[in-house]
Structure 1
Amino acid sequence: MSELNVLFRRRIGWPESGEIAFEQLGDVLERTSRSIPFENMCIIEQRTNDITKENLIRKMLEKQEGGLCYELNALFYFFLLENGFDAVLTRGVVYEHAAQRFLTLGRTHVTILLTRQNQTYVIDTGFGGNLPLKPVPLSGEEVSSANGAFRIKRADSELGDYVFEMKLKHKDMDWRIGYTFDSKKPIRDVSELEEVREIIEHHAGSPFNKNPLITKLTNKGNVTLTDTTFTQWVDGVVSKEAIDKERFTELLKKHFG
């Protein structure tokens, strides 16, 4: 078994030996969402590295950090390949609900497409608190998990051919667009993710290069930490606390190790 496979299983608390069946991926995804946070600390602290398999292992499995979509999903993609799954990465465009439009940064969301028995599924470990926690089929079938309901709709446009939609538990009454993606444009090599990293790291319109953000799901909801606030969802009840730098450091250690 490879170093990546062993270290990934160890980080999420999965047995280090034995095959992983497709039916077990929901459990693997839930454990991943609670173990590896979505965060931009490397960008804020100006210590990013090239996107390579070795650097992803070092950052998230050896140093026990988290990452953004192009890191989290790239690492999980490699993990899927190591465990015999047929998977590719692809890029998408996130929907900005405040402006009622897709972001104009370009294809900066990275997600995974897994194919099994002539059916293709979206698998996403890098969409902040909006994770489906299960494979979501491109057939349009609705999938429910501890985090809400999710589906993929066919929607051809210049930005892609499918749209990922969500209805988060305790948060959404109606379906919301998450992002659009192009199933016909797989990423051939993770080096292509350098373009995504450059945009996220340096573009003036990037939401991830200005202030620290770290979030992960928990057994009862999720926790989100910024430099000014700490937000916690527990069984559908939200609490929000204004914080200072000292409290930020304290909460970072307590909730994210």
Structure 2
Amino acid sequence: MSEDHGHGWQGELLDLPAYLKRVGHDGGLAPTAATLRALHRAHVTSIPFENLEIMLGRPIELSLDAVQAKLVGRPRGGYCFEHNRLFAAVLERLGYEVAAVAGRVTLGSAKILPATHALLHVRPPDASRDEPAWLCDVGFGAGPLEPLRLVDGEEAVQDGWGFRLRRGRTVTTWTPHTAEWEMHQRGPGGWVQRHTFVLNEVFRIDFEVGSYYVSTSARSPFTTRPFVQKFSSDALRVLDGTKLTVTRPDGTAESRTLAPEDVPGTLAEDFGIVLEGEDPDRLVEFVRARN
């Protein structure tokens, strides 16, 4: 066996039938734009976003075996590095051209924030280089349902949810030809910049570095409380600490606060996340201590 130099996504090691069963995709697998849209939608609506391993005191493992065992083999989810580690392997296995890029989550802020979000730049193998590539974002937790074409200013409305890609500013005076892209999401008050990214390729080792910061730094929002999301065509469900919010495509939202002991049951019922063994009690203890 040749030495693994860290290129590519090890799609040959993927249990593709198990993944397709997990996301409920029983359609065609030819590496076309239509297949890409179908797989993206199936993944986003089937596997939730969650950071619970951090609350439970365990490291986030990004080997393909570990990610498959958690997101496919168990009723669990993960955050962007786990989701896109898995989805990149799926697309590579099917024959797509896949490259990862790093994003900076801004949510409307003008402050420079660390590049801690993973996205995928994807082309069907027979696509002309004159055609725009696709941006896949299965690991944010709040959509989009389907990939977006990398076209400046193009808006996509997907089952009532609005998304837009725009070219932003030049990144620095030292790299005048490197343009930043912006992902925008439509909210009740209009368009909000969700994150920015530059089309510079990153690799599996970069996922490891970003994931370590996100899962261990006191400055990371993911080390302080449970944060779980489940996206579908008709609702975005978010558990932020003990606050459960359900938002509809028209922007209407309902919220309620859970008792700590109700969190594991809500994870199972609303998010399809089933904690095993001592994990429910450990999570309740963490939430109580933080509250």
1:251 to 252, 266, 282: 266
Are 1:125 and 2:138 counterparts?
yes
Residue 241 (structure 1) aligns with? 256
Residue 101 (structure 1) aligns with? 110
Q: Unaligned 5+ residue runs, structure 1?
A: none
In the TM superposition, residue 13 of structure 1 has moved relative to its aligned partner by: 0.5
> What SS does the corresponding residue of 2:223 show, helix, strand or coil?
coil
Residue 86 (structure 1) aligns with? 97
Residues paired across the two proteins, number = 249
Residue 67 (structure 2) aligns with? 56
Question: 1:198 and 1:56, CA in 2 relative to 1: closer, same or farther beyond 3 A?
Answer: same
Question: 1:91 and 1:167, CA in 2 relative to 1: closer, same or farther beyond 3 A?
Answer: closer
- Amino-acid identity (%): 22
Which one has a larger percent strand, Structure 1 or Structure 2? 1
| Distance in 2, Cα, partners of 1:220 & 1:180 | 26
Amino acid at match of 2:255: K
In the TM superposition, residue 45 of structure 1 has moved relative to its aligned partner by: 0.9
Moved more, 3-12 or 34-43: 3-12
Larger radius of gyration: 2
| Distance in 2, Cα, partners of 1:150 & 1:234 | 15
In the TM superposition, residue 2 of structure 1 has moved relative to its aligned partner by: 6.2
Residue 167 (structure 1) aligns with? 185
1:24 to 27, 35, 39: 35
| Distance in 2, Cα, partners of 1:21 & 1:58 | 27
State the Cα RMSD in Å: 2.3
Moved more, 114-123 or 66-75: 114-123
- Taking structure 1 as the reference length, the TM-score comes to 0.87
Residue 69 (structure 1) aligns with? 80
2:210 to 196, 200, 218: 196
| Distance in 2, Cα, partners of 1:19 & 1:64 | 28
1:121·1:135 contact (CA, 8 Å) conserved in 2? Answer: yes
Residue 221 (structure 2) aligns with? 207
In the TM superposition, residue 128 of structure 1 has moved relative to its aligned partner by: 2.2
1:165·1:177 contact (CA, 8 Å) conserved in 2? Answer: yes
- Taking structure 2 as the reference length, the TM-score comes to 0.78
> What SS does the corresponding residue of 1:134 show, helix, strand or coil?
coil
In the TM superposition, residue 204 of structure 1 has moved relative to its aligned partner by: 2.1
Question: 1:53 and 1:3, CA in 2 relative to 1: closer, same or farther beyond 3 A?
Answer: closer
Q: Unaligned 5+ residue runs, structure 2?
A: 1-11, 273-291
Pairing 1:166-185 to 2, within 5 Å after superposition: 166-168=184-186, 171-183=187-199, 185=200
Residue 58 (structure 2) aligns with? 47
In the TM superposition, residue 233 of structure 1 has moved relative to its aligned partner by: 2.5
